[in-house]
Amino acid sequence: MEKIAYLFPGQGSQAVGMGLEFHQEYDEVREFFDMVDEVCKKRISRLCFSGPMEELTRTAICQPAVAAASLAALVAIQKAGGPPPDFAAGHSLGEYAALCAAGALDREATMRLVRRRGELMHADAVAHSGVMYAIVGLSIDEVRDLVSGVEGRVAVANHNTPTQVVISGTAQAVEKAAQLAKKAGAREIPLAVSGPWHSELMARAAKEFASYLDHHYTLEKPSIPVVPNVTATPETDPAVLAECLKKQITSPVLWVDSIRALREAGVDTFVEVGPRRVLTGLVKKILGKDDSKLFSVGDMKGLEAWISAST
């Protein structure tokens, strides 16, 4: 019997129109977006459906918007009778939707946490400006060695594929590391982000978010294992999952290890639940010539294609 993992995307997967088709199709999705707008005190639904993209890309808006679009897709899957997952994982921000899919958080709690996370990360980015670069063509060990030799604040932020590693930190240190990567034969690509995510420059946001989580929410035991970015190990202990959320803001996203862990656990069907087709592309590069099945459910066409293939 196949094992299914639901994968939820993070910041950077936003697109104007996300969630609109599900909103038009399902009453429960409309009710969900009404709740999102109320929780966020802003018409997140309108921004998801109509943009503008400039507003949708702002961190404090982008994070709840992407989470809302992902959870809208999850609701649509459930209403359409899609096969439930055996595992869940999310890329950075997507980990919150993964926890919701697993039953560790309800939808409202997920949106409140994501809203607060986005606000705190935006504030820290304003206070501690920085940049991120994708390094393409070097292994994770090569990038780690390269970064360790650079003075200043720069660190590995995302291990997205075997040869795509994102670094984050102050502009001077990151750009120095990027130039060293270029000399080593890699491509260095500046990313259009508004802050140095997953670096120690986000320490204040991480500390304040941890306090907010501790004082307002308790994770429930999930019904299926969730793979946190911080450990890349399937986990069902809610206390461990909560600690991972606190560390995640400053820790690297171990996406390669997460996908490999899911494959080793027997997962042979990966379903990206959310806007665009970002994670399926990363999975394909991680697993290479593998017989795993990949689906993307971000609109009605994607939902219908997966449901059809599953029956």
Q: Which residues are catalytic?
A: 92, 198
DSSP letter at 200?
G
Which alpha helices (H) appear in 10-106, and where do they start and end? 20-25, 27-40, 44-50, 53-56, 59-80, 94-101
In whole angstroms, give the CA distance from residue 296 to residue 278.
9
For residue 156, what are the β-bridge partners? 167
CA distance 86 to 222: 11
DSSP state of 19: T
Which residues, in sequence order, are bridge partners of residue 190? 133
What six digits make up the tokens of 124?
Answer: 């820290």
Whole-angstrom distance, CA of residue 187 vs CA of residue 131: 16
Whether the CA torsion 190, 191, 196, 200 is positive or negative: it is: negative
DSSP letter at 149? T
Sheet holding 164-169, edge to edge: 154-161, 164-169, 131-136, 187-190
Question: CA 48, CA 15: separation in Å to the nearest integer?
Answer: 7
Give the Cα separation of 258 and 256 in Å (integer): 5
In contact, 298 and 18? CB cutoff 8 Å: yes
d(CA 184, CA 217): 46
Which tokens hold the place of 27?
């009453």
Distance CA 21, CA 29 (A): 10
